[in-house]
A and B are shown apart, each in its own frame.
Chain A
Amino acid sequence: MARNPFQQLYVGEKVDPDEFVEIFSHKLVPYAMPLFQPGHVILSGVQGSGKSMLCKLLQPEVRLAYASISEPFPIPKESSRFIGAGINITTARCIEFGNRRAEAGDSTQELMFGDFFNYVVALDIIRSVRTLSADTSISSELGIKLEGERLSRFVHSVAESDVWEGYLKPSVDLGDLERRMWERLARYRRFMNGNDRALDPTVASSKTSAGEPMKILVNAFKSSGVVPSDVEFYVLVDQYEELEKIKSNGADADYRSVVNKVISRDPTLSYRLGTRGHGWRNHLNVFGSHGHLEQDRDYKLIEIDAILRGQEVRTTSVYPDFANDVFLRRLKYSASPGSARAKAGRISDALGRSPSPKDEATQLAGDDPAAVLRIDPSWPAEIAVELRELAKEDPLSAKLGEVWYRQKGTEKDGERPWDDRRKQYWRKERIELALLHIGSIRKQRAIYSGEENILGLSGNNILIFLSLCQHIWDYASQASSRNDRQPELPIAPSIQTIGVIQTARTWLDRIPSDYGRSDDRYKLIQLLGEKFSTALHGDLKMSNPGQNGLSLSIEELRENAEVFRFLVEAVDYGNLVMVEHATRNKDRKRRYKFYLNPLYCPVYRIPYQRSKEPMYVSIDRLKEWLSVAGIIERLEPPTIRRTAKPDAPMPLLEMMSPKH
């Protein structure tokens, strides 16, 4: 099969720097500028939001790759004077702190972790400076001079600093310094791995305070003249949320508070905490103090999901533009010159435009369009004739007419009142559901093809978008009659629909193997998908076309923290979408709407588009559903309220009857 330009999904983490330069989209950079400016930043986003891709710009190797092909670094010049370094909580093995028994009460685990964290980051800062200094264009651009006297002064200044408790004193050159640091980390690893029964005493007696060594290091770089004083140091702490999951045996070690401690108001260097979704909000304690981190005072918050979603609401179209750029870069990366791929200017050049609802209805209705109607036998004959005639030329309008008569009765009120301009919102809210009903009657699946549908199904998530493209491209390659097996562009709607359904099933089926309460989240999606599907397919009047979403009171959610946490986890993992919305209830209480990830909707045969009003449910009802699905512990049956009635004046005796 021909090479699929969308084969590799995880650009941010896996692609090598040279390829990254070719396929990285700059479109999100302007919305994430605090990442490349001094000050601490928390960068949150679900998997696939583009978070890792942005963070990759902090890596020195990526900067080298841009320089090596003389491609401009995609950060504005005034913000590009920085050196990036970092730690990935998972790959640095921080989780292994749970392997050894903690002594209760004396914060030993946090102190060890803080020291380990310091050395990992310090070593990476040195590595970054060394890497960037090896390239003449970058080192001259940033003014890095890692050589001669300056280097000696730097090493001496670092080794002699009290912050290391004498541990680095024997170091005479940079190699020594790095070796000592690496050896210290190896000693921690030996301890955590059980090779050493106790932590090496030289390490145990020289623990450093979280964050302090990095300040010394950066100051030494600058005071020795290795790095100019106007160059910023940015340290990425990736997968911060994993710290919460470190098992602490015998003590309540709080590892996140250690990282929070480094986010101080000291401007020497700036940290970027990369984290999934909302998880970080639960915990903003600072180790060794009673203080808490405060947004805008201690850090800036960049929520990638919100940026994409918010801009969508303001119709400035960040996401479509971003996805289009990603798509074209991938398409052109391995295209031969002059080919259709190389010439493509928009997603639609490869995938076409999505069919209009009217066209889609006509296709779904096939050669017997009147069959899409469910005429009530009690309706006047002329209405039946009118709708059947209309169905021949416009099955969608005919279906909406049927719904209109079901809702409003068959009293004639003008010519096709549902097509009236004044009823455009009534019509708009029911179009997707009408298509769904037409497809269901004709035993056809909805058509998922074209730029608009593929973008809509990807739900502002670039990873899902690429996954959709990957599957569609694979099917199109298989169906291609070309010798090189490259897809014929634009790809046929029927092939795209198959690709979409396959992608949806793949993403749905993979939920249980994801991290977190994955099995419960899978059950939740099944539960909601089936409930929504039943509600929408059974609603012949289409009175509630928005019931592909759930609305819950924020107040009730807060009172039921466990359920709320679970729903938020599903949001953080991209299984659900959560949006605050205005209520239709008289109480005016704030509510959250929850929708399935749009990609799952084709599997449940429900519209992925959202319209008013979602399904309003109480928290008790939701808990009952979750309990039946086995997600939360089975609830006790509700207490039976004993009320005296004329026919049962003694309710206590009534309760003794066998039916209770």
Chain B
Amino acid sequence: MNRDYRPWGPLEWLLPKLQGDPWGLLGVLGTEDRCTAALDVMAPQLRASRFLKILDPHLSPIAAFNARFDEIQGRLIAGGTNAADIRTVDLLQDIDTMEEELAAFLETSGPRVVLDITSMPKRWFFPLIRFLLASPAVETLIVTYTSAQFYSEQLSSDPAALGPLPTFDEPRLSERYDELVVGVGFAPLGLKDLFETDPGKIRYLFPFPPGPPNFFRNWHFLRTLESEVENRNLQVEDRWQIHMYDVPSAFEALCRVTRNGERSCALAPFGPKTFSLAMCMFALAANKAGKEPVHVYYTQPRRYALDYTSGIREHAGVPDIKAYCLRIAGRDLYEL
């Protein structure tokens, strides 16, 4: 395999190419239909599955949330997950507890691990990927992401003040960054505060093709930012358009922008989860290569919509689940 080849694609295409022992799946029990898709598809090939029921600090309307959680829990148990492997945790949980939850999962998962980030907040999946890649017990690691049919108008609210995601704030000498790379999404919650870091250059990762109505929401995102902060000589070439599912290309774009981590940078993963995954992998790769720490800033919403998404997008009758190999047989694929 070529060193730069980072396999990704539909889960049903990728799995047969990774023959071996059964997998361990770590996912999220949320309110979205799509959070059960990976389990449904992988159930026959699993030796263990564990789901985190991640609660917002102020669930509302609580009765409706609980009813939905019960419904999804029923589906997970029907899919073969033990009730004891459904763990209730807080959205703003401390990293000590996150590590403990992961360690408990790894005791049963075996060395081949699938992390389903479909319904997993960034505050959780960023540190979990860090911990998984730091674990010698994990020989192969795949991340999965399932697309939804419909998105709610208002996805989330009540953002925390802008700050680094847990474990992505290693101290560095300078407070200034050469580059700030923003993943363009739907809602720039509190993002204007990021410009306080006064980066030398701001660049935007644009999902392409976005498809309606996302197209308008992405541009609205950019327009909102631009109306609040002085245009810092934004050039066409500062907007990088990358296929929204193409994590390796987004990773490589970050490598190019920063000259393989030589230029210091901060990342703001406000775009699609897949771009956030690329940012996570870039920050970890820079860390591993001994480059300047890459800080990942986010305004973690503290309230997600009950109907964040609905339905599961399908291709030819199969759920649209993308899978990304991060580590295969002990070899990390995202490195500088």
Interface 9-residue window, one of A190-198, A254-262, A283-291, A303-311: A190-198
Is the Cβ of A512 less than 8 Å from the Cβ of B187?
A: yes
17 additional A-B pairs beyond A91-B196, A100-B95, A518-B159, beta carbons within 8 Å, are A14-B196, A96-B166, A101-B96, A101-B97, A186-B171, A193-B166, A194-B127, A245-B161, A247-B57, A250-B94, A512-B157, A513-B159, A513-B189, A513-B190, A519-B157, A520-B157, A634-B61
Is the Cβ of B190 less than 8 Å from the Cβ of A519?
A: no
Q: From residue 186 to 219 of chain A, which have CB atoms closer than 8 A to chain B? A: 186, 189-190, 192-195
B162 at the interface (CB under 8 A from A): yes
- In the complex, residue of chain B having the shortest beta-carbon distance to the beta carbon of A521: B157
B111 at the interface (CB under 8 A from A): no
6 contacts between A and B (CB under 8 A): A14-B195, A95-B160, A101-B94, A185-B171, A194-B99, A517-B157
Is the Cβ of A515 less than 8 Å from the Cβ of B96?
A: no
- In the complex, residue of chain B having the shortest beta-carbon distance to the beta carbon of A518: B157
B169 at the interface (CB under 8 A from A): yes
Q: Which residues of A lie under 8 Å from residue B99 when comparing CB positions? A: 194
A: which residues have CB within 8 A of B?
Answer: 7-10, 13-14, 90-91, 93, 95-96, 98-102, 185-186, 189-190, 192-195, 239, 242, 245, 247, 249-250, 470, 506, 510, 512-520, 522, 630, 632-634
Q: How many residues of B contact A (CB 8 A)?
A: 48
Using A193-B169, A517-B157, A633-B61 as known contacts, say yes or no to A93 and B163 having CB atoms under 8 A apart. Answer: yes
- CA gap between A634 and B60 in the complex, in Å: 10
Is the Cβ of A99 less than 8 Å from the Cβ of B94?
A: yes
- CA gap between A180 and B61 in the complex, in Å: 50
Is the Cβ of B94 less than 8 Å from the Cβ of A249?
A: yes
Q: Within the complex, what minimum Cβ distance (angstroms) separates B124 from chain A? A: 13
- CA gap between A630 and B307 in the complex, in Å: 13
Is the Cβ of B61 less than 8 Å from the Cβ of A515?
A: no
- In the complex, residue of chain A having the shortest beta-carbon distance to the beta carbon of B188: A513
Q: Which residues of A lie under 8 Å from residue B96 when comparing CB positions? A: 100-101
B90 at the interface (CB under 8 A from A): yes
B164 at the interface (CB under 8 A from A): yes
Q: Within the complex, what minimum Cβ distance (angstroms) separates B90 from chain A? A: 7
Q: Which residues of A lie under 8 Å from residue B299 when comparing CB positions? A: 515
Q: Which residues of A lie under 8 Å from residue B166 when comparing CB positions? A: 96, 99, 193-194
Is the Cβ of B224 less than 8 Å from the Cβ of A510?
A: yes
Using A186-B171, A470-B227 as known contacts, say yes or no to A633 and B60 having CB atoms under 8 A apart. Answer: yes
- In the complex, residue of chain B having the shortest beta-carbon distance to the beta carbon of A97: B94
Interface 9-residue window, one of B69-77, B101-109, B228-236, B325-333: B228-236
- CA gap between A519 and B159 in the complex, in Å: 10
B93 at the interface (CB under 8 A from A): yes
B92 at the interface (CB under 8 A from A): yes
- CA gap between A335 and B16 in the complex, in Å: 67
Is the Cβ of A249 less than 8 Å from the Cβ of B190?
A: no
Is the Cβ of B158 less than 8 Å from the Cβ of A519?
A: yes
Is the Cβ of B159 less than 8 Å from the Cβ of A100?
A: no
B193 at the interface (CB under 8 A from A): yes
Is the Cβ of A194 less than 8 Å from the Cβ of B92?
A: no
Q: Within the complex, what minimum Cβ distance (angstroms) separates A566 from chain B? A: 11
- CA gap between A630 and B305 in the complex, in Å: 12
- CA gap between A515 and B191 in the complex, in Å: 11
B243 at the interface (CB under 8 A from A): no
Using A95-B163, A519-B154 as known contacts, say yes or no to A14 and B61 having CB atoms under 8 A apart. Answer: no
- CA gap between A101 and B90 in the complex, in Å: 12
- CA gap between A522 and B158 in the complex, in Å: 11
- CA gap between A458 and B303 in the complex, in Å: 30
Is the Cβ of A13 less than 8 Å from the Cβ of B196?
A: yes
Q: Which residues of B lie under 8 Å from residue A249 when comparing CB positions? A: 90, 92-94, 97
Using A14-B195, A520-B157 as known contacts, say yes or no to A90 and B163 having CB atoms under 8 A apart. Answer: yes
- In the complex, residue of chain B having the shortest beta-carbon distance to the beta carbon of A90: B161
- CA gap between A189 and B169 in the complex, in Å: 8
Q: Which residues of A lie under 8 Å from residue B163 when comparing CB positions? A: 90, 93, 95-96
- CA gap between A522 and B189 in the complex, in Å: 14
Using A14-B195, A193-B167, A516-B158 as known contacts, say yes or no to A98 and B190 having CB atoms under 8 A apart. Answer: no
- In the complex, residue of chain A having the shortest beta-carbon distance to the beta carbon of B231: A7
B316 at the interface (CB under 8 A from A): no
B170 at the interface (CB under 8 A from A): yes
Q: Which residues of B lie under 8 Å from residue A634 when comparing CB positions? A: 61, 63
- In the complex, residue of chain A having the shortest beta-carbon distance to the beta carbon of B299: A515
B62 at the interface (CB under 8 A from A): yes
Q: Within the complex, what minimum Cβ distance (angstroms) separates B307 from chain A? A: 12
- In the complex, residue of chain A having the shortest beta-carbon distance to the beta carbon of B92: A247
Q: Which residues of B lie under 8 Å from residue A250 when comparing CB positions? A: 94
Is the Cβ of A189 less than 8 Å from the Cβ of B303?
A: no
Is the Cβ of B161 less than 8 Å from the Cβ of A239?
A: yes
- In the complex, residue of chain A having the shortest beta-carbon distance to the beta carbon of B57: A247
Q: Within the complex, what minimum Cβ distance (angstroms) separates B216 from chain A? A: 13
Of A8, A91, A242, A632, which is in contact with the most chain B CB atoms at under 10 Å from its CB? A91
- In the complex, residue of chain A having the shortest beta-carbon distance to the beta carbon of B127: A194
Q: Which residues of B lie under 8 Å from residue A245 when comparing CB positions? A: 160-161
- CA gap between A194 and B171 in the complex, in Å: 11
- CA gap between A90 and B196 in the complex, in Å: 11
Q: Within the complex, what minimum Cβ distance (angstroms) separates A9 from chain B? A: 6
Q: Which residues of B lie under 8 Å from residue A8 when comparing CB positions? A: 229-230
Is the Cβ of A93 less than 8 Å from the Cβ of B169?
A: yes
Is the Cβ of B94 less than 8 Å from the Cβ of A96?
A: no
- CA gap between A91 and B188 in the complex, in Å: 18
Q: Which residues of A lie under 8 Å from residue B97 when comparing CB positions? A: 101, 249
- CA gap between A95 and B166 in the complex, in Å: 11
- In the complex, residue of chain A having the shortest beta-carbon distance to the beta carbon of B172: A186
- CA gap between A346 and B57 in the complex, in Å: 49
- In the complex, residue of chain B having the shortest beta-carbon distance to the beta carbon of A516: B158
Q: Which residues of B lie under 8 Å from residue A519 when comparing CB positions? A: 154, 156-158, 303
Is the Cβ of A506 less than 8 Å from the Cβ of B227?
A: yes
Q: Which residues of B lie under 8 Å from residue A632 when comparing CB positions? A: 60
Q: Which residues of A lie under 8 Å from residue B198 when comparing CB positions? A: 14
Of B62, B99, B163, B193, which is in contact with the most chain A CB atoms at under 10 Å from its CB? B163
Q: Which residues of A lie under 8 Å from residue B167 when comparing CB positions? A: 193-195
Q: Within the complex, what minimum Cβ distance (angstroms) separates A15 from chain B? A: 9
- In the complex, residue of chain A having the shortest beta-carbon distance to the beta carbon of B230: A8
Q: Which residues of A lie under 8 Å from residue B58 when comparing CB positions? A: 517
- In the complex, residue of chain A having the shortest beta-carbon distance to the beta carbon of B91: A247
Q: From residue 163 to 208 of chain B, which have CB atoms closer than 8 A to chain A? A: 163-164, 166-171, 187-190, 192-193, 195-196, 198
- CA gap between A513 and B154 in the complex, in Å: 9
- In the complex, residue of chain B having the shortest beta-carbon distance to the beta carbon of A188: B171
Is the Cβ of A90 less than 8 Å from the Cβ of B162?
A: yes
Is the Cβ of A95 less than 8 Å from the Cβ of B161?
A: yes
Q: Which residues of B lie under 8 Å from residue A522 when comparing CB positions? A: 154, 157
- CA gap between A99 and B90 in the complex, in Å: 12
Q: Within the complex, what minimum Cβ distance (angstroms) separates B163 from chain A? A: 5
- In the complex, residue of chain B having the shortest beta-carbon distance to the beta carbon of A632: B60
- CA gap between A517 and B302 in the complex, in Å: 9
The 7 tightest CB contacts between A and B, nearest first, are: A519-B157, A247-B92, A186-B171, A101-B96, A249-B94, A189-B171, A101-B94
Q: Which residues of B lie under 8 Å from residue A518 when comparing CB positions? A: 157-159
Q: Within the complex, what minimum Cβ distance (angstroms) separates B231 from chain A? A: 7
- CA gap between A634 and B228 in the complex, in Å: 37
Q: Which residues of B lie under 8 Å from residue A510 when comparing CB positions? A: 224
Q: Within the complex, what minimum Cβ distance (angstroms) separates A277 from chain B? A: 15
- CA gap between A189 and B167 in the complex, in Å: 10
Is the Cβ of B231 less than 8 Å from the Cβ of A99?
A: no
Using A13-B196, A190-B171 as known contacts, say yes or no to A515 and B94 having CB atoms under 8 A apart. Answer: no
- CA gap between A169 and B95 in the complex, in Å: 34
- In the complex, residue of chain A having the shortest beta-carbon distance to the beta carbon of B287: A195
Using A90-B163, A90-B193, A514-B190 as known contacts, say yes or no to A98 and B94 having CB atoms under 8 A apart. Answer: yes
Q: Which residues of A lie under 8 Å from residue B154 when comparing CB positions? A: 512, 519, 522
Q: Which residues of B lie under 8 Å from residue A13 when comparing CB positions? A: 196
Q: Which residues of A lie under 8 Å from residue B187 when comparing CB positions? A: 512-513
Q: Which residues of B lie under 8 Å from residue A633 when comparing CB positions? A: 60-63
Is the Cβ of A9 less than 8 Å from the Cβ of B228?
A: yes
Is the Cβ of A100 less than 8 Å from the Cβ of B94?
A: yes
Q: Which residues of B lie under 8 Å from residue A190 when comparing CB positions? A: 170-171
